Amino acid sequence: MIGKIIKIHSDFYYVQISEKNTIFECKIREKLKKAKISIFVGDLVRIEKSSSKESNQAAIVEILPRNNYLPRPSIANVDQVIIVAALSQSKFDFEQLNRYLCQAKLYDIPAVICINKSDLEETLKFKQKIMDIYTGIGYKVIFTSALTGLGIDELKKVLESKISVLSGMSGVGKTSLLNKIHPDLKFKTKEISVKTGKGTHSTRHVEIIGVPIGKGKVLQIADTPGFSHLKFDVVMPFVINELFDEIKKFSAGCYFSDCLHLNEEGCNVLTNLSKIDSTRYESYKTFTQEAVEYKEKLRKEGHKEEKSSKSIDTGNNEMKQFVKLGMQARKKARNTEKQKINLISILDEVYYNQED
């Protein structure tokens, strides 16, 4: 049978078979474990049911090819990312919003911006600023309130007929929005921490939820734990340019093809900074610096030389020098130890197979 992983909890994988609308509790076959294949919620898998007819237990025997995936939150085969941010926070975090948007773009998944808790923000001018920045570069922006119901119908239309993942920091109201879309779901929510002023986790794992909205329609939404430590420290600096369309547009006119648009001469982006929103450019600089540090880290690791000796503290306030075995000698020694060659077993095999 083929089904979709809708939840992963401990070592169990919960797979929904759409034809029967049945959920199987699954383990992974040892072959897949040894292959060390990453398995995400949203993955389509082939399962084999246990011999017991009554049991809803099965084993995952194959991971089918993915259309796409996001490493954070870990999910596969989604149509769009709904990035939720809260307008009620004392300072709106443009950088975090840009991080989520750039990650979605990096993995080629369409993104929609949902500004929640909008009923608590009276400054229409600030809302307009957000609209101007992000609709101007092609993003859809929805203002919602899980308290008053503002924008919920518009959000439902965006979610309809697509598999969506809600993403954003803790405390922005992702779970509250789900409860507002369908009150009977009654997911647990937590208050903002008085001590830190930040949200606390109410969602502990990624889970795809079927949300009924009437007339036989069911929304497929993945609720995810909030997180804030998303960094661009696994990509090269030139990649960041591709994640900001408004910067990429001007970068073609730069004098140097490898221009990072920070302080280089002949940079067309710097010449046109007045046409780029300042919060977006500041985010670009931060992400580029993270990528530059990653590149430098790789460079240093690539030039690391193995020393011929090592020092060990003997415990008597003195360091003792030991000569290290060469890489080739160590590899040979480890392989020999691992094989544990038994002469008798070799002779037995020769005898029974009648080998020369």
Q: Can you give the pLDDT at residue 182?
A: 82
Task: Please calculate the CA angle 253-255-257 and round it to the nearest 5 degrees.
Answer: 85
Which pLDDT score, from 0 to 100, does residue 285 have? Answer: 97
For 297, phi and psi rounded to 5 degrees?
Answer: -60, -45
Q: What's the pLDDT at 194?
A: 37
Please report the pLDDT score of residue 333 as a whole number: 54
Give the pLDDT band of residue 5 (cuts 50, 70, 90): very high
Residues 42 and 138 in one domain: no
Residue 102 lies in a domain: yes
Classify residue 232: in a domain, yes or no.
no
* pLDDT tens digits, 208-263: 988 887 777 888 999 887 666 789 989 999 999 999 999 999 999 999 999 999 99
Q: What is the pLDDT of residues 313-329, one digit of tens each?
A: 655 556 666 666 555 55
How many domains in the chain? 4
More confident residue, 36 or 95: 95
pLDDT score, position 104 = 95
User: H helices of 196-342, where?
Assistant: 237-242, 245-251, 268-271, 278-302, 327-339
User: Whole-angstrom distance between the N-terminal and C-terminal Cα of the chain?
Assistant: 49
| 43 and 5 Cβ atoms separated by less than 8 Å | yes
- In which band, very low, low, confident or very high, does the pLDDT at 126 lie, cut at 50, 70 and 90? confident
Select from 223, 248, 270 the last residue of a domain: 223
Q: Which residues pair with 7 in a beta bridge?
A: 14, 207
pLDDT of residue 199: 42
> What CATH number should be reported for the domain holding residue 21?
2.40.50.140
Query: Where a domain ends, among 65, 88, 105?
Result: 65
Domain that holds residue 333: 309-352
105 and 219 part of one domain = yes
Max avg pLDDT among 49-63, 189-203, 260-274, 322-336: 260-274
pLDDT-based confidence at residue 134 (cuts at 50, 70, 90): very high
pLDDT at residue number 196:
40
In a domain, 230, yes or no: no
Read off the pLDDT of residues 90-108 as tens digits, 9 standing for 90 and up. Answer: 678 999 999 999 999 999 9
Together in a domain, 213 and 269? no
Mean pLDDT, residues 112-130 taken together: 84
Predicted pLDDT at 67? 95
Task: Average the pLDDT over 271-287 and give the result.
Answer: 97
In this structure, the answer to whether residues 288 and 148 fall within a common structural domain is no
- Residue 326 tokens, joined: 């060469």
CB 203 within 8 A of CB 174: yes
Within this chain, do residues 215 and 338 fall inside the same structural domain, yes or no? no
Q: Which residues contact 252 (CB under 8 A, 6 or more apart)?
A: 268
pLDDT of residue 243: 97
CATH number at residue 95: 3.40.50.300
Residue 146, pLDDT > 90, answer: no
- Residue 193 has a pLDDT of 41
Co-location of 79 and 180 in the same domain: yes
Average pLDDT, the chain: 83
Would 93 be classed as within a structural domain? yes
Same domain, yes or no: 192 and 159? yes
Chain position carrying tokens 């609709």: 135
Q: Are residues 216 and 140 in the same domain?
A: yes
For residue 26, tell me if it sits in a domain: yes
Q: Over 50: is that where the pLDDT of 190 sits?
A: no
Asked if 291 and 342 sit in the same domain, the reply is no
User: What token pair was written down for 190?
Assistant: 């937590």
Task: Outline where DSSP puts E strands in the chain.
Answer: 2-9, 12-17, 22-28, 44-49, 57-63, 69-70, 75-76, 80-86, 111-116, 140-143, 163-167, 207-214, 217-223, 309-313, 319-323
48 Cβ neighbours under 8 A, 6+ residues apart: 1, 58, 59, 61
Q: What are the backbone dihedrals phi and psi of residue 36, each rounded to the nearest 5 degrees, phi first?
A: 55, 45
Question: What mean pLDDT is predicted for residues 112-140?
Answer: 88
**Claim to verify: residue 57 and residue 95 sit in the same structural domain:** no
The pTM (predicted TM-score) of the whole model is 0.77
Q: Quick check: is 52 in a domain?
A: yes
Residue at 136 is within a domain: yes
Do 171 and 203 lie in one domain? The reply is yes
Flag the least confident range among 118-132, 300-314, 331-345.
331-345
State yes or no: pLDDT of 167 exceeds 80. yes
Query: Do 260 and 248 contact (CB within 8 A), yes or no?
Result: no
45/154 same-domain check: no
pLDDT of residue 18: 78
Q: Does 70 map to a domain?
A: no
